Amino acid sequence: MAAECAAVGYRRVQIADVLVRACLDRATFDRHFQDKQDCALAVVDQILAETARAVLDADRPGLPEWQRLLAATMALLELFAARPSYARLACIEARHGMPAEAYERYAAGLRILSSLIDRIRTFASSMAPPTATRGALGGAEILIRRELIAGRADRLPSLLPDITYGTVVPFLDQQEALRHAELARELIRDGG
């Protein structure tokens, strides 16, 4: 389902084509899913669960907040790089192209990521407005979407320094944000 959505978009997906890709018959599909939407939502649920797990696994209480954010972001990018069709479904189709239930799941994923950024806000300049967290995530999202649409998911982990800068600069001094971006670069150089 994820691969078929990536190829033709959710709206044009035909269950018959999904079954051909999966080498399954209709009876098998019907045993597991009510319809196309049910199946696609299950895929979104799966990537959402994997995202939450990857982020939580990377999170090490006791480390500085920025370091926890860095590790979680890297885990997310590596997951999306490894599962590009799933990532595309979660980041693109669920946001724009699927029923409202999918958008709710996309929004739930954003809330998980927002909670990570909001911990950084503890150190924030008081000037950062309420929407700054959503804006910071939006900066990361557009870079991720660009690579997914261009079929360059393997490059996602290399975005870590820029995404790190974009997510912390609303809340920290600009030089501090650049320092975190440099640390992200070192993390990539050291192989994660």
Partner 1 sequence: MSTVARPERTRLLEATLEELAEKGYRAFEVEAAVHRAHLSGEEWSNRFPDKDACLLEAFKELSGQMRAAIAGGSRAAGTWSDRVAAGLRALLAELARRATVAEAVAHTFPAIGPAAMTRYQQFVESLAPLLAPGRALAGDVELPRTAEMLAVGAAEAIVMERIHAGATATLPELGPEILFSILVVFVGPEAAGEAMAKERSRLRPSSGRTAGRSGR
Interface contacts to partner 1, rule CB under 8 A: 6-12, 92, 95-98, 103, 124-125, 127-132, 134-143, 145-146, 149, 159, 161-162, 165-166, 169-175, 177-178, 181
Burial class (CB in 10 A: 0-12, 13-18, 19+), 151: exposed
What count of other Cβ atoms lies within 10 Å of the Cβ of residue 155? 14
Of 104, 74, 101, 102, the closest CA to residue 88 belongs to 102
Nearer to partner 1, 58 or 184 (CB): 184
Please report, as a single letter, which amino acid is at residue 170. Answer: P
Give me the least distance between CB of 50 and partner 1, in Å please.
22
Nearer to partner 1, 13 or 72 (CB): 13
Give me the least distance between CB of 52 and partner 1, in Å please.
20
Nearer to partner 1, 143 or 183 (CB): 143
Distance CA 1, CA 105 (A): 17
Give me the least distance between CB of 60 and partner 1, in Å please.
26
Burial class (CB in 10 A: 0-12, 13-18, 19+), 19: middle
Nearer to partner 1, 19 or 178 (CB): 178
Give me the least distance between CB of 191 and partner 1, in Å please.
21
Nearer to partner 1, 62 or 175 (CB): 175
Give me the least distance between CB of 90 and partner 1, in Å please.
14
